[in-house]
Amino acid sequence: MRWVWEPGRATSMILFAAGLVLYAALWLGSWHGLFPFPALRVFISFSLFLVPGFLLQQLLWRGADVFVSQRLVLGLALSISLVSVGALFAFAFQLALPFIEGVFLFASIICAVALLARAGWKWNVRIVWDRHWIALAPLLLAFLAAIWLTMNLTVEADDLTYTSYITHWQRTPHFDFQEIFFGIDRLSPSRFWLSHWLIAEAVFADVAKVHALELGLYYLSPLLAVMSLVATYALARRLGLSRAVATFAMCAQIACLMLLAGRDLTGEIFFNRLVEDKVLAAFLLTPALAIAAIAYLEQPTKGRIVLVFLSGAAMVVTHPIMSGLACLILGLYALFDLVVRRRIRATLVIFALLGILIAALLAQRVLDSTYVEKLQFDVTELRKFESGRVWYWGEQFFGASFSIVAQPPYLVVLLASILALFQFKSSQTARWILANALLVTVAVLPLTGWILAFAITASQLYRVPWFTPFGICAAFLVLTLWSNLAPSLRQRFAGYEAQTLYGLAALLVVGAAVVLSLMPTRDVFQALQPRAKGIDQRYADLITLGNVLDARLSEPVQVVGSTNWINDRLPSVSANARLVSFRREYNMWQLGNLTQSEAEARAAARRRLTGRAASADTRYQVLTQYQVKYIVAQASDKWISDLIEKYPGRFELVTAQGNLRLYQFKP
For residue 378, pLDDT over 70 is answered with no
Please write the tens of the pLDDT for every residue from 625-640. Answer: 999 999 999 998 888 9
The lowest-confidence range among 463-472, 588-597, 604-613, 617-626 is: 588-597
Answer whether residue 391 is part of any domain: no
Answer whether residue 450 is part of any domain: no
Number of domains in the chain: 2
Same domain, 646 and 499: no
> Residue 258's CB: how many other CB atoms inside 10 A?
27
**Confidence bin at 2 (pLDDT 50/70/90):** very low
C-alpha closest to that of 234 among 427, 57, 70? 70
> Residue 123's CB: how many other CB atoms inside 10 A?
19
Answer whether residue 235 is part of any domain: yes
For residue 99, pLDDT over 90 is answered with yes
The pLDDT score that the predictor gives to residue 384 is: 60
Same domain, 504 and 580: no
Which helix (H) or strand (E) is 5 found in, with range? strand 2-5
**Confidence bin at 373 (pLDDT 50/70/90):** low
Please write the tens of the pLDDT for every residue from 76-96. Answer: 999 999 999 999 999 999 999
**Confidence bin at 379 (pLDDT 50/70/90):** low
Same domain, 149 and 189: yes
Same domain, 596 and 489: no
The residue type at 297: L
For residue 126, pLDDT over 50 is answered with no
Distance CA 334, CA 331 (A): 5
Distance CA 593, CA 405 (A): 34
Same domain, 552 and 510: no
Answer whether residue 81 is part of any domain: no
Same domain, 290 and 361: yes
The pLDDT score that the predictor gives to residue 376 is: 57
**Confidence bin at 6 (pLDDT 50/70/90):** low
Same domain, 360 and 496: yes
Answer whether residue 127 is part of any domain: no
The pLDDT score that the predictor gives to residue 571 is: 96
**Confidence bin at 397 (pLDDT 50/70/90):** confident
CB 181 within 8 A of CB 579: yes
The pLDDT score that the predictor gives to residue 383 is: 62
Average pLDDT along the chain = 90
Same domain, 183 and 282: yes
Same domain, 158 and 225: yes
Torsion of CA 276, 281, 287, 290, to 10 degrees: 170
Same domain, 495 and 597: no
Which segments of 423-534 does DSSP mark as H helices, in order?
428-444, 446-456, 470-483, 487-492, 497-518
User: In the chain, what percentage of residues exceed pLDDT 90?
Assistant: 69
CB 5 within 8 A of CB 125: yes
Answer whether residue 557 is part of any domain: yes
pTM: 0.93
The pLDDT score that the predictor gives to residue 259 is: 97
Q: Is 633 helix (H, G, I), strand (E, B) or coil?
A: strand
Same domain, 590 and 636: yes
Please write the tens of the pLDDT for every residue from 40-73. Answer: 999 999 999 999 999 999 999 987 778 889 999 9
| Long-range contacts of residues 586-592, Cβ cutoff 8 Å, at least 24 apart | 586/385, 587/161, 588/181, 588/182, 589/374, 590/189, 590/371, 590/374, 591/161, 591/189, 591/191, 592/179, 592/181, 592/182, 592/189
Answer whether residue 553 is part of any domain: yes
Please write the tens of the pLDDT for every residue from 642-663. Answer: 899 999 889 999 999 999 999 9
Answer whether residue 404 is part of any domain: no
For residue 570, pLDDT over 70 is answered with yes
Give the residue numbers spanning the domain of 608.
Answer: 535-665
Same domain, 186 and 139: yes
